[in-house]
Amino acid sequence: MINIYCDESCHLINDAANCTAMVIGGIVCPDDKKKAIFDRIKEIKKEHGIAVDAEIKWNKVSPAKIDYYIDLVNYFFDNSDLHFRAIVVPDKRILNHEAFNQTSDDFYYKTYFNMLKTVLEPGKEYAIYIDIKDTRSQQKVEKLHECLCKNSYDFNRKMIKRLQQIKSHEVELMGLAGLLIGAISYLHRGHTKSVAKNAIIDKIRYRSGYKLTNSTLYRENKFNLFIWHPRNDITR
């Protein structure tokens, strides 16, 4: 069994004006490795005087905790069992859903599938955990499972065995996924004020070998990023 811990940023229609870049992504790891990974993340917390039940959150990145968050980023890149994939929609304001006869929800599900399609492999089994933050979360979980199985030709749900919502503070890897997604979102929204957050972004750039403003190689296995752009003639 392979687990995928997914999170999202600025995916809602009525997000704040500065939430223009939509990011959906996830961390992938084998189920039989998760306990050792969770334990090591808790050790990193203890090493920095952080409570073991404290949630890993991008919004909590600060100068006082910069070394802690840098260590988390380094741990992700040093652990060969951890992999990351994300899709960035740089400016969702220009999306024209009517041109494709779709709703914003339809686009959301399609983006989730496109994020996961390079991760899913026939013949393997997956458990997907998501942290949906809006009021229709359970409805979205059920619809997303249906869409993923349909588009993956997994009609009997033999590949995607489980798709369920969990709270991000309950699973260490959900928080780590949120940290990486938060960094990408911060960068693509053009924010630069936080020295600590900029340091995290620089560390991810250095360790990944990518600028983070362009797509990575399609088959990039460790840190895979796709920057989505609409067709210019039908965006408006």
Identify the bridge partners of residue 59 per DSSP, sorted by sequence position: none
What does DSSP say about strands 126-130 and 160-165: parallel, antiparallel, or unpaired?
parallel
* Positive or negative: CA dihedral 165, 43, 198, 83: negative
CATH of the domain at 37: 3.30.420.10
Interval 145-166 mean pLDDT: 77
The fraction of the chain above a pLDDT of 70, given in percent, is 82
The span from the first CA to the last CA of the chain, in angstroms, equals: 42
Any residues with CB less than 8 A from the CB of 153 and at least 6 apart, and which? none
Over residues 189-204, the pLDDT tens digits come to 998 999 999 999 999 9
Q: How many folded domains does the chain comprise? A: 1
Could you tell me the residue range of the domain that residue 35 belongs to? Answer: 2-234
Distance CA 156, CA 172 (A): 30
| 0.85 exceeded by pTM | yes
User: Per-residue pLDDT averaged across 97-110, rounded?
Assistant: 69
Average pLDDT, the chain: 85
